[in-house]
Structure 1
Amino acid sequence: MSTVTTPDGTVIFYKDWGPRDAQPIVFHHGWPLSSDDWDAQSLFFLSKGYRVIAHDRRGHGRSGQPATGHDMDAYVADVNVLTDALDLRGAVHVGHSTGGGEVARYVAQAKPGRVSKAVLVSAIPPVMVKKDSNPEGTPIEVFDGFRAALAANRAQFYIDVPAGPFYGFNRPGAEVSQGLIDRWWWQGMMGAANAHYECIKAFSETDFTEDLKKIDVPVLVMHGTDDQVVPYADSGPKSAELLTNGTLKSYEGYPHGMLSTHPEVLNADILAFVEGQ
């Protein structure tokens, strides 16, 4: 397996497919998944001649399961270790959900020349939790419920989430894919319970407002209007407004996991953005 090791000794697994001299596209996955959640995008962009890179966040997938470092700053520090090791330049960073927060903070701090564009898909920025500065946010009790469900029966919780709100399979008339549900469960159960528990705080309470303001490269913000995990009104439009060079693309009725339910639509739109001027 391809891995890098962080200063605290955590081994980070990654995939690196395609020509080494091609433009890199780096994918950042959501909670509690892994780089495998990007299969549809990885194969698509590989077929278009790009260098495709995706890693498993610490405590997720095939990466190490340390006791500490399950917060956004540590996640971004790990990404820096990876991009420095591969010496990636002019890369496009694409993040889904929690990975979108990781992308926002990484790109805001990236070394000159490392990043050319970014894509935020169903992403958690600017901030999810409800507070005085974000009255439209999700109440903390919802995330407390996530933690309680994970601690009580993680295996069942990891069936309930994809079978319900993640892919919108709880909507009337939804075309349910048992394969997607099983894949979600399998990815989640590969990771560490402590990492996933602590990551709930990282994705729900981290405020990316200042990160978004610092980003000067073009950013495509993609969000489904029926996102039941990261509600549309409190995320996509707000992020696009904070970005200096942001473009919002809304998807009517699409769920949080729209990259998997509608890959043919999302892949084409990401490609058009990557190849656009």
Structure 2
Amino acid sequence: MRETLIVAGLFLLAVALRSARSGSLRKLGAVAFLVATFWLGFFFSGSKIGGSVAVSCWFFLPWFELLTHIRRLRLPLNNRLQHRRIPNPASFPNALEASAAMEVEGFDHVSDCGWKWVGMQQFFRFYWHPEERAIAAICLCEQRGVAFAFISITSQDSQGRTWRTTNFPFSLTLQCSPLIRWNYVPCEQNCFKSILLDHRLFLQRNQIGPELLRMPDPDDAEDALEREMRQQVEFNLASGIIRLTGDGHFKYSNRGLFFLWGQFVKDMVRLC
């Protein structure tokens, strides 16, 4: 009976911590889940090995999704953006606030567009600022009834390198070209002014002054995203993360599935 109460108490503590607003407390809640799982395995098996095996099950859980769903995915090689209206603001309450914040900071609206991947829809609203030499975007994603939004700010230097700051909450599902440098900020950081400041500091840390940045072409924002996606696909084909299916699509290779598993585990550990 005592063992049951200990495990139940730890799980309740974990749930409470995971419900907190503080990122540190939420991470502590994740640790509490692992501790509770360890003791559950320990009490059932009577050994520390059993507890360790129980904890490891959390990290191998993504393989169920990888083998039952992602392994069968066929994604188009050439996906094209299409002009779209902004989705229902009720589904993305921060989108209109982010748009207003961008305009306050002097960014001008460029276009609204989106595309569909297998089971997922993405909507983009692009803005640009000539003095900042940057393209900003609000991205709204919806998949299987789950929706989230994030912001990105992108600059490109004279050497063709892309510098991007974003509060995207997950790890990338494809390897990224070394020509694209990412600066991740906490996903709960939704204030555009704060993200813009982080982007400026990101450029300063890498000694990229305004004179080294290319002036973006607002009319090219959509084409630039399509080119970047094609380049990323080509890079991952060369890396063996994905492979062609012969019908204008690609799928994840075995190596790609292990790469995705690593990304899933990284997200589980990061737990922003």
TM-score with structure 2 setting the length: 0.28
Q: Using CA pairs below 8 Å that are at least 6 residues apart, which structure has the higher relative contact order?
A: 1
CA radius of gyration, larger in: 2
TM-score with structure 1 setting the length: 0.27
Structure having the larger proportion of residues in strand: 2
